[in-house]
Protein backbone atom coordinates (compact mmCIF):
# COMPACT_ATOMS: atom_id res chain seq x y z
CA UNK A 1 0.00 0.00 0.00
CA UNK A 2 2.80 2.43 0.94
CA UNK A 3 4.76 1.62 -2.21
CA UNK A 4 1.64 2.11 -4.35
CA UNK A 5 1.08 5.53 -2.76
CA UNK A 6 4.70 6.51 -3.35
CA UNK A 7 4.51 5.52 -7.01
CA UNK A 8 1.23 7.39 -7.45
CA UNK A 9 2.68 10.49 -5.79
CA UNK A 10 5.81 10.44 -7.98
CA UNK A 11 3.72 9.99 -11.13
CA UNK A 12 1.23 12.76 -10.35
CA UNK A 13 2.48 14.88 -7.41
CA UNK A 14 0.31 17.93 -8.13
CA UNK A 15 -2.93 15.93 -7.98
CA UNK A 16 -1.82 14.24 -4.75
CA UNK A 17 -0.92 17.59 -3.18
CA UNK A 18 -4.23 19.19 -4.19
CA UNK A 19 -6.27 16.34 -2.73
CA UNK A 20 -4.19 16.27 0.47
CA UNK A 21 -4.46 20.02 0.98
CA UNK A 22 -8.23 20.03 0.47
CA UNK A 23 -8.70 17.15 2.92
CA UNK A 24 -6.56 18.95 5.52
CA UNK A 25 -8.48 22.19 4.97
CA UNK A 26 -11.78 20.35 5.47
CA UNK A 27 -10.50 18.80 8.72
CA UNK A 28 -9.55 22.30 9.88
CA UNK A 29 -13.08 23.48 9.02
CA UNK A 30 -14.53 20.57 11.03
CA UNK A 31 -12.47 21.57 14.06
CA UNK A 32 -13.72 25.14 13.76
CA UNK A 33 -17.37 24.17 13.23
CA UNK A 34 -17.38 21.21 15.68
CA UNK A 35 -19.36 19.39 13.02
CA UNK A 36 -18.85 17.54 9.73
CA UNK A 37 -21.37 19.97 8.20
CA UNK A 38 -19.68 23.35 8.04
CA UNK A 39 -21.78 26.33 9.03
CA UNK A 40 -21.91 29.64 7.16
CA UNK A 41 -19.86 31.52 9.73
CA UNK A 42 -16.91 29.14 9.49
CA UNK A 43 -17.16 29.09 5.70
CA UNK A 44 -17.15 32.87 5.56
CA UNK A 45 -14.12 33.27 7.84
CA UNK A 46 -12.31 30.49 6.00
CA UNK A 47 -12.57 32.29 2.65
CA UNK A 48 -15.73 31.00 0.97
CA UNK A 49 -17.27 33.01 -1.83
CA UNK A 50 -19.70 35.67 -0.67
CA UNK A 51 -20.61 38.42 -3.11
CA UNK A 52 -20.87 41.32 -0.61
CA UNK A 53 -17.41 40.52 0.79
CA UNK A 54 -15.93 40.43 -2.70
CA UNK A 55 -17.68 43.58 -3.94
CA UNK A 56 -17.70 45.76 -0.85
CA UNK A 57 -14.57 44.58 0.96
CA UNK A 58 -12.64 43.86 -2.27
CA UNK A 59 -11.72 40.37 -1.07
CA UNK A 60 -11.05 39.03 -4.55
CA UNK A 61 -8.81 36.32 -3.13
CA UNK A 62 -12.03 34.47 -2.28
CA UNK A 63 -12.23 33.51 -5.96
CA UNK A 64 -9.34 31.13 -5.22
CA UNK A 65 -9.77 30.17 -1.57
CA UNK A 66 -13.42 29.16 -2.08
CA UNK A 67 -12.16 26.39 -4.37
CA UNK A 68 -10.38 24.69 -1.46
CA UNK A 69 -13.31 24.64 0.99
CA UNK A 70 -16.11 22.08 1.28
CA UNK A 71 -19.39 22.09 3.15
CA UNK A 72 -20.00 18.42 4.02
CA UNK A 73 -18.03 15.18 4.04
CA UNK A 74 -19.99 13.85 1.05
CA UNK A 75 -19.25 17.11 -0.81
CA UNK A 76 -15.54 16.64 -0.14
CA UNK A 77 -15.50 12.91 -0.90
CA UNK A 78 -17.24 13.22 -4.27
CA UNK A 79 -15.02 16.09 -5.38
CA UNK A 80 -11.78 14.47 -4.21
CA UNK A 81 -12.52 11.12 -5.86
CA UNK A 82 -13.30 12.93 -9.10
CA UNK A 83 -10.27 15.21 -8.82
CA UNK A 84 -7.96 12.28 -8.11
CA UNK A 85 -8.90 10.24 -11.18
CA UNK A 86 -9.45 13.11 -13.64
CA UNK A 87 -6.46 15.04 -12.30
CA UNK A 88 -4.10 12.11 -12.79
CA UNK A 89 -5.13 11.78 -16.45
CA UNK A 90 -4.42 15.43 -17.19
CA UNK A 91 -1.31 15.78 -15.05
CA UNK A 92 0.41 12.93 -16.87
CA UNK A 93 -0.32 14.73 -20.16
CA UNK A 94 0.41 18.31 -19.12
CA UNK A 95 2.99 17.94 -16.36
CA UNK A 96 2.50 19.01 -12.72
CA UNK A 97 3.12 22.76 -13.03
CA UNK A 98 0.99 23.23 -16.13
CA UNK A 99 -1.73 21.12 -14.54
CA UNK A 100 -1.68 23.23 -11.37
CA UNK A 101 -1.82 26.46 -13.36
CA UNK A 102 -4.78 25.17 -15.37
CA UNK A 103 -6.62 24.09 -12.23
CA UNK A 104 -6.14 27.43 -10.44
CA UNK A 105 -7.18 29.45 -13.50
CA UNK A 106 -10.35 27.42 -13.97
CA UNK A 107 -11.19 27.80 -10.28
CA UNK A 108 -10.99 31.56 -10.88
CA UNK A 109 -13.15 31.50 -14.02
CA UNK A 110 -15.69 29.28 -12.26
CA UNK A 111 -15.97 31.43 -9.16
CA UNK A 112 -16.04 34.62 -11.22
CA UNK A 113 -18.92 33.20 -13.25
CA UNK A 114 -20.66 32.41 -9.96
CA UNK A 115 -20.10 36.00 -8.89
CA UNK A 116 -21.69 37.23 -12.12
CA UNK A 117 -24.67 34.87 -12.31
CA UNK A 118 -24.98 33.06 -8.97
CA UNK A 119 -26.86 34.03 -5.84
CA UNK A 120 -25.94 37.50 -4.58
CA UNK A 121 -26.13 36.77 -0.85
CA UNK A 122 -25.24 33.08 -0.95
CA UNK A 123 -22.07 31.65 0.59
CA UNK A 124 -20.58 29.08 -1.76
CA UNK A 125 -17.52 26.83 -1.69
CA UNK A 126 -16.09 23.76 -3.36
CA UNK A 127 -13.59 22.56 -5.94
CA UNK A 128 -16.30 21.86 -8.52
CA UNK A 129 -15.42 24.86 -10.70
CA UNK A 130 -11.83 23.66 -11.06
CA UNK A 131 -12.92 20.06 -11.57
CA UNK A 132 -15.30 21.12 -14.35
CA UNK A 133 -12.37 23.05 -15.76
CA UNK A 134 -10.53 19.73 -16.05
CA UNK A 135 -13.59 18.27 -17.78
CA UNK A 136 -13.50 21.15 -20.25
CA UNK A 137 -9.78 20.61 -20.85
CA UNK A 138 -10.40 16.96 -21.67
CA UNK A 139 -13.14 18.03 -24.08
CA UNK A 140 -10.70 20.25 -25.97
CA UNK A 141 -8.02 17.53 -25.96
CA UNK A 142 -10.60 15.26 -27.57
CA UNK A 143 -11.03 17.77 -30.39
CA UNK A 144 -7.28 18.19 -30.80
CA UNK A 145 -6.50 14.45 -30.73
CA UNK A 146 -5.76 13.73 -34.40
CA UNK A 147 -3.56 10.65 -34.10
CA UNK A 148 -5.51 8.17 -31.99
CA UNK A 149 -8.85 7.85 -30.23
CA UNK A 150 -7.69 7.99 -26.59
CA UNK A 151 -8.62 11.58 -25.73
CA UNK A 152 -11.66 11.47 -28.01
CA UNK A 153 -13.02 8.56 -25.99
CA UNK A 154 -12.25 10.34 -22.72
CA UNK A 155 -13.99 13.48 -24.02
CA UNK A 156 -17.13 11.48 -24.85
CA UNK A 157 -17.22 10.06 -21.32
CA UNK A 158 -16.78 13.54 -19.85
CA UNK A 159 -19.55 14.85 -22.09
CA UNK A 160 -21.99 12.28 -20.71
CA UNK A 161 -20.95 13.07 -17.14
CA UNK A 162 -21.27 16.82 -17.69
CA UNK A 163 -24.75 16.41 -19.20
CA UNK A 164 -25.90 14.30 -16.25
CA UNK A 165 -24.41 16.81 -13.81
CA UNK A 166 -26.17 19.75 -15.44
CA UNK A 167 -29.52 17.92 -15.49
CA UNK A 168 -29.16 16.87 -11.83
CA UNK A 169 -28.26 20.42 -10.80
CA UNK A 170 -31.80 21.57 -11.61
CA UNK A 171 -33.11 19.12 -9.01
CA UNK A 172 -30.46 20.13 -6.43
CA UNK A 173 -30.77 23.82 -5.54
CA UNK A 174 -27.50 23.89 -3.56
CA UNK A 175 -25.38 23.22 -6.67
CA UNK A 176 -23.78 26.33 -8.16
CA UNK A 177 -24.29 25.64 -11.86
CA UNK A 178 -22.76 28.96 -12.89
CA UNK A 179 -19.44 28.02 -11.25
CA UNK A 180 -19.47 24.70 -13.11
CA UNK A 181 -20.07 26.42 -16.44
CA UNK A 182 -17.38 29.04 -15.78
CA UNK A 183 -14.82 26.38 -14.93
CA UNK A 184 -15.85 24.26 -17.90
CA UNK A 185 -15.44 27.15 -20.36
CA UNK A 186 -12.12 28.17 -18.81
CA UNK A 187 -10.61 24.70 -19.12
CA UNK A 188 -11.94 24.16 -22.64
CA UNK A 189 -10.53 27.46 -23.88
CA UNK A 190 -7.23 27.53 -22.03
CA UNK A 191 -5.77 24.02 -22.21
CA UNK A 192 -4.01 24.47 -25.60
CA UNK A 193 -1.73 27.02 -23.90
CA UNK A 194 -0.54 24.31 -21.49
CA UNK A 195 0.13 21.42 -23.86
CA UNK A 196 3.82 20.69 -23.64
CA UNK A 197 5.97 20.27 -26.72
CA UNK A 198 7.57 17.29 -25.00
CA UNK A 199 4.50 15.45 -23.73
CA UNK A 200 4.65 11.69 -23.52
CA UNK A 201 1.98 10.88 -26.10
CA UNK A 202 3.01 13.10 -29.00
CA UNK A 203 -0.64 13.42 -29.98
CA UNK A 204 -0.97 17.15 -30.45
CA UNK A 205 0.52 19.69 -32.80
CA UNK A 206 -0.34 23.03 -31.21
CA UNK A 207 1.22 26.06 -32.86
CA UNK A 208 2.31 29.26 -31.11
CA UNK A 209 -0.65 31.23 -32.50
CA UNK A 210 -3.04 28.61 -31.09
CA UNK A 211 -1.50 29.01 -27.63
CA UNK A 212 -1.71 32.79 -27.85
CA UNK A 213 -5.30 32.63 -29.06
CA UNK A 214 -6.22 30.41 -26.11
CA UNK A 215 -4.80 32.93 -23.65
CA UNK A 216 -6.45 35.90 -25.39
CA UNK A 217 -9.88 34.23 -25.50
CA UNK A 218 -9.59 33.19 -21.84
CA UNK A 219 -8.70 36.74 -20.79
CA UNK A 220 -11.58 38.07 -22.91
CA UNK A 221 -13.91 35.62 -21.15
CA UNK A 222 -12.73 36.86 -17.76
CA UNK A 223 -13.17 40.47 -18.84
CA UNK A 224 -16.75 39.88 -19.97
CA UNK A 225 -17.69 37.96 -16.83
CA UNK A 226 -15.98 40.57 -14.63
CA UNK A 227 -17.91 43.41 -16.28
CA UNK A 228 -21.18 41.56 -15.71
CA UNK A 229 -20.25 40.88 -12.09
CA UNK A 230 -19.34 44.51 -11.43
CA UNK A 231 -22.63 45.73 -12.91
CA UNK A 232 -24.52 43.64 -10.34
CA UNK A 233 -23.31 45.88 -7.52
- The catalytic residue positions are 128, 180
Indicate left, alpha or beta for 34 from its phi (over 0: left) and psi (-120 to 50: alpha): left
Angle at 19 between CA 17 and CA 21, to 5 degrees: 65
Collect all residues with Cβ–Cβ distance below 8 Å to 45 and sequence separation of at least 6: 32
Angle at 91 between CA 89 and CA 97, to 5 degrees: 170
On the CB side of 15, CA atoms within 13 Å amount to 27
- Among 128, 112, 122, 113, smallest CA distance to 74 is for 128
Collect all residues with Cβ–Cβ distance below 8 Å to 7 and sequence separation of at least 6: none
- What are the residue ranges of helices labelled H in the chain? 2-11, 13-33, 40-46, 51-57, 62-65, 73-94, 96-117, 128-144, 150-169, 177-190, 208-230
Collect all residues with Cβ–Cβ distance below 8 Å to 168 and sequence separation of at least 6: 175
Amino acid sequence: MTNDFKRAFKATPATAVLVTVMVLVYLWEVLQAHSFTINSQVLFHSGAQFSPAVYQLHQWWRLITAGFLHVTFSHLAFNMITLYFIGRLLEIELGPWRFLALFFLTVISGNLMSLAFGGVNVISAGASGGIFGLFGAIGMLGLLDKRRAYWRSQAKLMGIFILLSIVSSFATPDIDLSAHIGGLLGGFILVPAFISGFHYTGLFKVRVWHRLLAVIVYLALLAVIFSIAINRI
